[in-house]
Structure 1
Amino acid sequence: MDSSKHIFSADRRESLVHELKNRKFDLVVIGGGITGAGIALDAATRGLSVALIEKMDFASGTSSRSTKLIHGGLRYLKNFEFNLVKGVGKERAILYRNAPHLVVPENMLIPIYSNGTFSKFTTNVGLWLYDRLASVKKKERRVMLNAKETVAKVPALSPKELKGGGLYSEYRTDDARLTLEIVKTASYNGALCINYFTCVDLKMEGDLCAVACRDELNGETITINGKQIVNAAGPWVDEVRKIDAEIKEKTVLHTKGIHLVVPKERLSIDQSVYFDAIDGRMVFVIPRFGTTYLGTTDTVYSGSLDSPNITTEDVNYLLDSVNRIFPEVNLNQSDVISSWSGLRPLIHQEGKTPAEISRKDEIFVSDSGLISIAGGKLTGYRLMAKKTVDLVCKRLDLVQECRTDSVRIVGGEFKTEGLVRAYITNLKTRMKSFGIEGGEAEILVRAFGKQTDTILKKTRDFEEDKLIQALAWFCLRNEQVHTLADFYIRRLGYLHFYPDRIKSTMNLVASVFASYLGWDESRIQQELSDMQDHLKSITEFESDHGEA
Structure 2
Amino acid sequence: MQRDLEKMSATAYDLIVVGGGITGASTAWDAALRGLKVALLEKEDFAHATTSGSSKLVHGGLRYLVNGELKLVRESLRERRIWENTAPHMVHPLPFILPTYGHGMKSGPVLSIGLAFYDLLSYDRNFVSDDDKKIPGFRSISREEALKLMPSLKREGLTGAKIYYDCQMFAPERLCIECIEGAVEYGADAANYAEVNDFIVESTTTSGRRIAGVKVKDRHTGKMHEIRGKVVVNAAGPWADLLMGIAEGGRPARRLIRSKGIHIITREISGKNALAIQSDIGGHFFVIPWRGHTIIGTTDTVFDDDPDKVGVTEQDLKDFISVVNDGLPGLNLKREDIVHFYVGIRPLVDTAPAQGEEGSKDSYNASRAAEVYDHEPIDGIAGLISAMGGKWTTSRHLAEQITDMVLKKLGRHAKCETHCTPVYGGEIGRLKSFITRAQKRHPHLSADVVENLVLYYGSRVDEVLATADERPGEREALLRRLAPNWPVLTVQVIHAIRHEMARHLSDVLFRRTGLGTLGSPGFPTISTVVEVMARELGWDETAIANEIAEANRYFETQSPGPRESDMKGASLAEATRGARP
String of CA shifts for 1:12-44, please: whole Å, max 9, x gaps: 43xx22321111101111100000111111111
Q: Distance in 2 between matches of 1:278 and 1:444?
A: 42
2:455 is the counterpart of 1:446: yes
Distance (whole Å) between structure 1 residues aligned to residue 327 and residue 241 of structure 2: 40
Whole-angstrom CA distance in 2 between matches of 1:429 and 1:506: 31
The answer to whether 1:473 aligns with 2:484 is: no
Q: 1:19 aligns with which of 4, 7, 32?
A: 7
Matches of residues 223-242 of structure 1 in structure 2 within 5 Å?
A: 223-242=226-245
Which region of structure 1 is more displaced relative to structure 2, 524-533 or 484-493? 524-533
8 A contact 2:509–2:516 mirrored in 1: yes
Structure-1 separation of matches of 2:324 and 2:465: 39
What secondary structure is seen at the aligned counterpart in 2 of 1:29?
Answer: strand
- Equivalent-residue separation in structure 2 for 1:171 and 1:139 (angstroms): 9
Q: Distance in 2 between matches of 1:121 and 1:181?
A: 42
* Alpha-carbon shift at residue 450 of structure 1 (Å): 2.4
User: What is the TM-score with the length of structure 1 in the denominator?
Assistant: 0.90
Q: Which amino acid aligns with 2:91?
A: V
SS at match of 1:62: coil
Residues 361, 384 of structure 1: 8 Å contact kept: yes
Q: Structure 2 vs 1, CA of residues 523 and 78 (structure 1 numbering), >3 Å: closer, same or farther?
A: same
2:552 maps to 532
Q: Structure 2 stretches of 5 or more lacking a match?
A: 127-133, 204-209, 352-358, 469-473, 483-487, 565-581
1:84 aligns with 2:72: yes
> Structure 1 residues 337, 132: closer, same or farther in 2, change over 3 A?
same
* CA deviations over 1:377-403 (Å, ceiling 9, x no partner): 001111111111111111111112211
Q: Could you tell me how far apart the structure 2 residues matched to 1:331 and 1:441 are?
A: 34
One of 57, 60, 66 as aligned partner of 1:69:
57
Asked if 2 retains the 8 angstrom alpha-carbon contact of 1:468 and 1:505, the reply is no
Partner of 2:260: 256
- Tell me the CA shift for residue 248 of structure 1: 5.2
Name the structure 1 match of 2:444. 434
What displacement does 1:116 show?
Answer: 7.4
CA distance in 2, matches of 1:428, 1:159: 45
Instruction: Give, in angstroms, the shift of residue 443 of structure 1.
Output: 3.4
Q: 2:435 is matched with which residue?
A: 424
Matched, 1:483 2:487: no
- For residues 321-354 of structure 1, the C-alpha deviation after alignment (integer angstroms, 9 at most, x for no partner) is 3323443431111211111111111111333621
Match of 1:300 in 2: 302
- Which amino acid is the alignment partner of residue 182 of structure 1? C
Query: Which residue pairs with 1:406 in the alignment?
Result: 420
Q: Partner amino acid for 2:176?
A: T
Deviation per residue, 1:158-191 (Å, 9 max, x gap): 4432111111111111211111110111111111
Amino acid at match of 2:137: R
> Residues 261-294 of structure 1, C-alpha deviation per residue, up to 9 Å, x if partnerless?
1122xx3532100011233621100111121110
Amino acid at match of 1:470: V
SS of the counterpart of 2:517?
helix
- Partner residue of 1:105? 93
Identity of aligned residues (%): 33
Amino acid corresponding to residue 290 of structure 1 in structure 2: G
Q: Name the CA shift for 1:372/1:164 in 2 (closer, same or farther; >3 Å).
A: same
Of 134, 143, 148, 2:144 maps to 148
Which of the pair is proportionally richer in helix?
Answer: 1
CA contact (8 A) 1:338 1:495 kept: no
State the alpha-carbon separation in 1 of the partners of residues 173 and 412 from structure 2: 32
Q: Which residue of 1 aligns with 2:129?
A: none
Shift of 1:427: 4.7
Q: Partner of 2:239: helix, strand, or coil?
A: helix
Matched residue of 1:495: which SS?
A: coil
| Higher-RCO chain (CA-CA 8 Å, sequence separation at least 6) | 1
* AA matched with 1:172: Q
1:520 aligned onto 2:540: yes
Q: 2:288 aligns with which of 286, 289, 308?
A: 286
How many residues align structurally?
524
Cα shift readout 1:72-129 (whole Å, capped 9, x = no counterpart) = 1212101000011111111111111000111111111101122875111111011111
Separation in structure 1 between the aligned mates of residue 562 and residue 56 of structure 2, nearest angstrom? 28
Aligned to 2:381: 368
Range with bigger deviation, 449-458 or 516-525 = 449-458
Structure 1 range deviating more: 337-346 or 248-257: 248-257
Contact 2:302 2:361 in 1 (8 A): no
Tell me if the contact between 2:179 and 2:424 (Cα under 8 Å) persists in the aligned partners.
yes
State how far apart, in whole Å, the 2-side matches of 1:439 and 1:116 are.
Answer: 46
Q: What letter matches 2:261 in structure 1?
A: G
Normalising by structure 2, we get a TM-score of: 0.85
